[in-house]
Structure 1
Amino acid sequence: MSEIIVSTPVHNRLEQLFLKHNLSKKTVVLFDENTKELFGRDILTALKNQGFTFVELVVPARETSKSFRTAYRLYGNLIEADVDRSWNLLAVGGGVVGDLGGYIAASYYRGIPIVQLPTTLLAMTDSSIGGKVAINHPLGKNLIGFFHMPELVLIDPSYLKSLPEREVYAGMAEVVKYGFIADMEFLRYIEKHFDDIVAIKDPYVSEAVRKSASIKADIVEQDFKEQSGLRATLNFGHTFAHGFEKLADYRHIRHGEAVAVGMICALHLSRKLEKISQDELQRGLAILSKFKFRRGLVQKRFKDIPAETILESMLSDKKKVDKQLRYVLLEGLGKAYLHPEPLDDGIVIEAIEKAKKCC
């Protein structure tokens, strides 16, 4: 399992950590345009001072960078720079850079080591951990990819201070998810310190990052390739979210925003199936009501879209089995499960309609 390091400033320890994990000091550093501007100077200076040989690559800071076209261009850059199997790749950024960098590392020379250095709350708590890396296809998100576990995940919570408020709330959706699916005590902590976490106050934000990363790492270790159904519980709210993202053409909505709305739908579906009580439903909705983007997002993007259209869009989800959607639901706050049987479209549509009304 990957070692997860939470440290500030983490870039000062790169040589020590790479050598500890038998990683060479020849690395490809992948940024997006934003992370290059914010963190590039410090990280590249640290690599130079610590004796690394490195190649720097930069991609646009947008979801469309997770594409065959971008990957093909980067392969060319690596070949021209004489990068071979003795190198590794350091992905510095959010989910786009982490996914794209992991995809490149998994496929170039049939696989080179990947080190994740996430810079967003969502990436620190979710996408950088667990080894699922992918690019998008016009017919669906994250459909082409690999299981390629990072050698290291290096988390520096101080990077979060650079994030716009919208990105913080988008990442907070994944943090809340971990409380819903696996840890009632953590959910209570989130309820109590929600405002402190989104304000990037310590020790609250560092504790939220550590706990979220720990929960995901534990689940992944038990079910790396999603064979037992346990890892699937990490997708609470995501079946709905992927439908929302497709409707928004993967551009007009943050992944975490879609997940927050998806969790509202999943809570209502859990209640429709009598897996959670009315009190638990209301408590869950109260936590999600703290998201500042939530109401405007639903009203502007999805409130007027028929539930049937949303369901049709959800069918692009890569987690289908035999063309049937799989739903992660709750059987109590802090305890998720993968529903074992296909659900009738009618009950799903009813849950979506209730979610739209409550928003």
Structure 2
Amino acid sequence: MNNIIVSTPVIDRIGKLFGEHGLAKKTVVMFDRTTKELFGEQILSSMESQGFTLQELVVPARETSKSFRTAFSLYGEMIEANVDRGWNLLAVGGGVVGDLGGFIAASYYRGIPVIQLPTTLLAMTDSSIGGKVAINHPLGKNLIGFFHMPKLVLIDPAYLKTLPEREIYGGMAEVVKYGFIADREFFTYLDEHFDRIVAIEEPYATTAIRKSAMIKADVVEKDFREESGLRATLNFGHTFAHGFEKLADYRYIRHGEAVSLGMACALYLSRTLGTITEDELAEGLGLLGRFRFPKGLVKKRFLEQGTEDIIQSMHSDKKKVDSQLRFVILDGIGRAKLLRDALPNDVVARSIEDARAWAATTFTC
């Protein structure tokens, strides 16, 4: 897709890129407080020097910003600034800003263009691509939203130099996911260069980001509204992960951390169902075992949770159909498929318990 640009420094080309994609230079720029502090002055001054008219929005850097209350307040700021349908919105930050900014762009004046400028590894490789934008409800995450494709996704790997290690590993969960579900050769590349990628060494980091972005864009293009089941394969490990996140009140475990553990569960589920071999299970767990977690997180947020509590929490997943959970399993490393039939709880429970036994011996808990 020619609307995904991977370049350093990408902000210096933003005026030219907007012109090439038919975008006006009247732009609402949304930051969270962290990205504003780190990058705001550079981004705003560069855009002003390129002839942009700007309206700035800043939200707290936390998941709770994805709410009706925050959106309603931001609508007011935009209305008072005379932002109309001739404007667009540039979302600068991680998944929270990308989701919230996309939600506001999709709904303001019945839809204005959104441009994503992700600053985290997870956002660069997953959440900024594909057009799913949403806010949360107290009963579940991302339950209220739209399909609203970005006109541009501007990816600058240099922004990752500011990220703490925890955020890098969180983003790597989505990167590794693409190797599992779509590209055996990419999985091997990640296994060989894992340490270089998490250290943001070049060209390894940019190669991993570009490949991840292109895999997701290709899947989205083929199944935009998740009708054929192809796009659903992007949720490998996520059904489990959403259960972990809900039990942690969406605060104490990061999305990528939950996905890492969820993929371990999904690997064991694939083995139980006979779609991967013992060797492939070991190979997949070997890569996941290189992730690092904050001290105590695996123990408190995974090992100490009751299996039935996890399964019950998983039922808050917005991707369930007719009250049945949907699982993505591997058909060998590099291929994935969506299970359309419900699974017995004891099969799901076994995959969780097997993954917990592995995690207990793999991570310093």
- TM bracket, shorter-chain basis: over 0.9
Distance in structure 2 (CA, Å) of the matches to 1:300 and 1:294: 11
Partner of 1:270: 270
Partner of 1:336: 336
Partner of 1:100: 100
Distance in structure 2 (CA, Å) of the matches to 1:297 and 1:192: 27
1:109 aligns with 2:84: no
Distance in structure 2 (CA, Å) of the matches to 1:229 and 1:163: 34
Partner of 1:45: 45
Partner of 2:167: 167
1:230 aligns with 2:246: no
Partner of 1:71: 71
Q: State the 1:26 CA deviation.
A: 0.1
Q: TM-score under structure 2 normalisation?
A: 0.97
Distance in structure 2 (CA, Å) of the matches to 1:272 and 1:348: 10
Q: State the 1:294 CA deviation.
A: 7.6
Q: State the 1:295 CA deviation.
A: 7.8
1:134 aligns with 2:96: no
CA distance change for structure 1 residues 296 and 185 in 2, over 3 Å: closer, same or farther? farther
Higher mean C-alpha displacement, 284-293 vs 1-10: 1-10
Partner of 1:194: 194
The aligned amino acid for 1:15 is G
Partner of 2:220: 220
Distance in structure 2 (CA, Å) of the matches to 1:354 and 1:347: 11
Partner of 1:119: 119
Partner of 2:180: 180
CA distance change for structure 1 residues 169 and 161 in 2, over 3 Å: closer, same or farther? same
1:80 aligns with 2:80: yes
Partner of 1:256: 256
Which secondary structure does the structure 2 equivalent of 1:91 belong to? strand
The aligned amino acid for 1:353 is E
- Kindly report the root-mean-square deviation, in angstroms, between the aligned alpha carbons of the 2 structures: 0.9
Partner of 1:318: 318
Distance in structure 2 (CA, Å) of the matches to 1:34 and 1:2: 29
Q: State the 1:340 CA deviation.
A: 2.2
CA contact (8 A) 2:116 2:150 kept: yes
Deviations 1:234-285 (A, max 9, x none): 0000000011100110111110000000000000000111111011001100
CA contact (8 A) 2:181 2:330 kept: yes
Distance in structure 2 (CA, Å) of the matches to 1:304 and 1:253: 14
Distance in structure 2 (CA, Å) of the matches to 1:176 and 1:232: 16
The aligned amino acid for 2:51 is G
Which runs of structure 1 show a deviation greater than 3 angstroms over 4 or more consecutive aligned residues?
none
CA contact (8 A) 1:298 1:356 kept: no
Which secondary structure does the structure 2 equivalent of 1:328 belong to? strand
The aligned runs of 1:56-67 (5 Å cut-off) are 56-67=56-67
The aligned amino acid for 2:68 is F
Q: State the 1:301 CA deviation.
A: 1.6
CA contact (8 A) 1:2 1:151 kept: no
CA distance change for structure 1 residues 296 and 285 in 2, over 3 Å: closer, same or farther? farther
Higher mean C-alpha displacement, 307-316 vs 296-305: 296-305
Deviations 1:44-90 (A, max 9, x none): 00111001000000000000000111001000000000000000000
Deviations 1:278-303 (A, max 9, x none): 11001100000000118842212221
Partner of 1:291: 291
Higher mean C-alpha displacement, 295-304 vs 136-145: 295-304
Deviations 1:150-181 (A, max 9, x none): 00000000000000000000000000000000
1:205 aligns with 2:205: yes
Distance in structure 2 (CA, Å) of the matches to 1:327 and 1:83: 42
Distance in structure 1 (CA, Å) of the matches to 2:296 and 2:270: 24
CA contact (8 A) 1:84 1:109 kept: yes
CA contact (8 A) 1:267 1:330 kept: yes
Higher mean C-alpha displacement, 152-161 vs 299-308: 299-308
Distance in structure 1 (CA, Å) of the matches to 2:335 and 2:20: 36
Q: State the 1:304 CA deviation.
A: 1.3
Q: TM-score under structure 1 normalisation?
A: 0.99
Partner of 1:281: 281
Partner of 1:243: 243
CA distance change for structure 1 residues 52 and 213 in 2, over 3 Å: closer, same or farther? same
Where structure 1 has 5 or more consecutive residues not aligned to the other structure, the ranges are: none
CA contact (8 A) 1:260 1:294 kept: no
The aligned amino acid for 1:7 is S
CA contact (8 A) 2:166 2:294 kept: no
Where structure 2 has 5 or more consecutive residues not aligned to the other structure, the ranges are: 360-365
CA contact (8 A) 1:2 1:149 kept: no
Aligned length: 359
Partner of 1:91: 91
Higher mean C-alpha displacement, 27-36 vs 1-10: 1-10
Q: State the 1:121 CA deviation.
A: 0.2
Which secondary structure does the structure 2 equivalent of 1:29 belong to? strand
Distance in structure 1 (CA, Å) of the matches to 2:242 and 2:202: 32
Distance in structure 1 (CA, Å) of the matches to 2:53 and 2:65: 25
Distance in structure 2 (CA, Å) of the matches to 1:319 and 1:218: 21
Distance in structure 1 (CA, Å) of the matches to 2:194 and 2:237: 19
